[in-house]
Structure 1
Amino acid sequence: MYEEVDILHKHLVTYLARVSQLKLNEFQTQKFMNLMTAVNNLDYVGDLIEVNMVDLGMRRVEKGFKISAVTQDVLETLHVVVSDALKAAVRAVVEEDKDFANRVISMQDDINLLIKKADLHQAKRLVSEDSGKFEAYSVEVDIIEKLKRIYKYAREMAKTVVDVDEKAIFEEAA
């Protein structure tokens, strides 16, 4: 699947490279740069999932440890919220929808709270009597960190939509 994403990324970058050769006004140049940022951030998310998250899952399977139901709930909640943010960020970019973009950006406090809860859960888990707890702890902390980075990229994508300088539109029209 990642190869398909890589191919799509290559096509998008090739298209944007052609666009960059056109004479663009200031507003168009800003939109172009924002699109490049969004496309690259989406590619970074793909890399995180393909390379890092898949490797973490494989490591868990190879080592044979289980993630407790409570920890699964913590990770699942964070995953769902981050996934929603990513979907909203993509929609914001594709549809140039500032409401979706602002929704993603405003999720920062909720994400930080969920990460803090996940980190506290991990701290409690580390002192438990589980066998193999360090390996599980290491993978779980890595998953949390990757989800945090995915949200960061989604937020940066959303910012490209709200950062467009609309006054340039009016200056161009005058």
Structure 2
Amino acid sequence: MKTIYLAGPDVFFRDAAARYDHLRALCAAHGLRGVAPVDGAPLPPNLDKAAQAEHIYRANMALLQGADAVLANVMAFRNPVEPDSGTVFEIGAAVALGKPVALYHPQLGRSLAERVREAFSSSGDEGGAEYDATYGLLIEDFGQPLNLMLARSCSMHASVQEAVAALARVLGAGQG
């Protein structure tokens, strides 16, 4: 059975266990086995914060490396536009390892530039470049729903159901 690493900020929610149960069930319905970051090696007792962080990092990387693909929740996290940085790291690691990655979030139907303009306003310059009014940073506008590095390397879906189905097709799950 093909294994799917469940990336995303779901671990930070109060209902994290229920969220992972739901994702695992969606994967199982397609003949896939979902593994969450919380499924890694148990945290040994009496570790200081740095040792805990190192343990979690190594356990998550082992799960990611052992997976056949990645399903990533790219919801905006602690900001109005961009996904969680840890999730983006895991996506990049998976892409570098040659694993298929499916991203999901309802906002993927809208462009990144549109969402940045909405969240931060914008202003132009004489050369036609457009910058966000809050930070003064150039607005990337390639018509993609996320930064081009994510948009060009992963499949993108408006729902988790679509994303799981896409991974099942790519991996040939449930086929004889």
TM-score (norm 2): 0.29
TM-score (norm 1): 0.30
Structure with the bigger percentage of strand: 2
Q: Which has the higher contact order (CA 8 A, sep 6+)?
A: 1
Bigger Rg over Cα = 1
